[in-house]
Amino acid sequence: MEKPTFKQQVDGFCRFLYNSEDGTVMGRGGKSWGQLGFFYLIYYICLSAFFCGTIAVFYQTIDDNKPKLQGDDSLLKGNPGMGFSPLPDIETTLIRVTDKPDKIKTYVDALKTILEPYKKAWEKNGNGTETDCNLSTNMELRKDATKACPVNYDALTKTCNEGNNFGFTATPPKPCVLLKLNRIYGWEPVPYTASQENRPGEMDAHVDGIVPIKCVGENPADRDHMGPLEYSPQAGFPMLYFPFKKQEGYLSPLVFVQFTNATKNLGLMVECKAYATNIEVDVQEKRGSVHFELLIDRM
């Protein structure tokens, strides 16, 4: 059979698109196209109705004020992790104190951005005079409170603040790192007692009303060269901020840890942990702790 020429192929395709003799478009007449269009119209109407019905049923199971999955059923399994700032970038956890102004500005700006809502909330509440929120506050009364306690911004930024560039430009440098316990709806820490037998040995002296935290060097060499640390406003997160139940104006408690005399030109691996009987610490899974590196190469 002789192979059709290119012109014949084009003519055949054009006749397929529209055949004037039969009055068809792509092989179908008007009636056939109408039946096909009607079928798909009904099909997509039913499909859309099924989709909308599924979404409507799904939303009936959701509470606007609390997550559907809580505790061990949630992704976090009711065990909070910790975060820190300034976070250099997504590829490294090294905080490097150098003489490069742009690098230091990045750290300072990151901390200022985090602290801005805390400053506004503190000022809005009359610097804490409008609420009864302190370490001696009755915790049972706070559990059902609809308005959150403001974080004491003055105490938080007493030694680490925008005025001293959070210690990054001090001579010698005394960098400040901001720590935060991840927020979990309804989770309430159960603190260790002063005499509890399974109380971790590395914990500092017991303080009522806080979830204690402690930062240490991961290795003996890190611990030897890390120097003394100062925490502000205290070495832990006050219990009065737990549990989180989407209270009005809620902001997670923060703690600054300041490295006052770390060895220069030596990379330090630091691990910070939070302590409570219901906080499981797993460094690999980043549960109950946070890891970062610190390098001070400016005198």
The DSSP line for 124-174 is HTTTTTTS--STTS-HHHHHT-SBPPPP-HHHHTSSSSGGGGGGTTSSS--
State yes or no: pLDDT of 88 exceeds 80: no
Q: Within 10 Å of residue 202's Cβ, how many Cβ atoms?
A: 9
Q: What is the mean pLDDT of residues 55-72?
A: 73
Q: What is the mean pLDDT of residues 213-219?
A: 92
Higher-scoring residue by pLDDT: 78, 171? 171
Count of CA atoms in the C-beta half-sphere (13 A) of 83:
14
The residues facing 244 across adjacent strands are 185
Q: Within 10 Å of residue 244's Cβ, how many Cβ atoms?
A: 15
**C-beta separation of 257 from 236 below 8 A:** no
Q: What is the mean pLDDT of residues 222-250?
A: 90
The answer to whether the Cα torsion of 289, 293, 298, 299 is positive or negative is positive
Look at 47-51, 68-72, 288-292 and tell me which has the smallest mean pLDDT.
68-72
Q: How confident is the model at residue 245 (pLDDT cuts 50, 70, 90)?
A: confident
Angle at 230 between CA 296 and CA 76, to 5 degrees: 90
Pairing verdict, β 94-97 and 24-25: unpaired
Q: What is the mean pLDDT of residues 258-283?
A: 90
- 258 vs 171, 231, 270, CA distance in Å? 14, 6, 12
Q: Tell me, what's the pLDDT at 148?
A: 81
Ranges of H-type helices in the chain: 6-17, 30-60, 101-124, 139-143, 153-156, 220-226
State yes or no: pLDDT of 105 exceeds 70: yes
State yes or no: pLDDT of 19 exceeds 70: yes
pTM: 0.76
d(CA 121, CA 249): 8
Q: What is the mean pLDDT of residues 57-67?
A: 75
Q: What is the mean pLDDT of residues 225-254?
A: 90
Q: What is the mean pLDDT of residues 218-244?
A: 91
Q: Tell me, what's the pLDDT at 25?
A: 72
Mean of the per-residue pLDDT values of the chain: 83
Count of CA atoms in the C-beta half-sphere (13 A) of 128:
12
Q: Tell me, what's the pLDDT at 26?
A: 72
Q: Tell me, what's the pLDDT at 136?
A: 57
Q: Tell me, what's the pLDDT at 85?
A: 92
Task: Give which of 270, 285, 284, 298 is closest to 93, Cα–Cα.
Answer: 270
Residue % of the chain over a pLDDT of 90: 39
Q: Tell me, what's the pLDDT at 127?
A: 66
Q: Within 10 Å of residue 106's Cβ, how many Cβ atoms?
A: 13
State yes or no: pLDDT of 199 exceeds 70: yes
Look at 46-55, 80-89, 194-203, 263-272 and tell me which has the smallest mean pLDDT.
194-203
State yes or no: pLDDT of 67 exceeds 60: yes
State yes or no: pLDDT of 166 exceeds 90: yes
The residues facing 271 across adjacent strands are 216, 291
Residue % of the chain over a pLDDT of 70: 83
Report residue 28 as tokens. Answer: 């179908």
Q: What is the mean pLDDT of residues 211-218?
A: 91
State yes or no: pLDDT of 109 exceeds 90: yes
Count of CA atoms in the C-beta half-sphere (13 A) of 299:
0
Q: Tell me, what's the pLDDT at 197?
A: 67
Q: Tell me, what's the pLDDT at 169?
A: 92
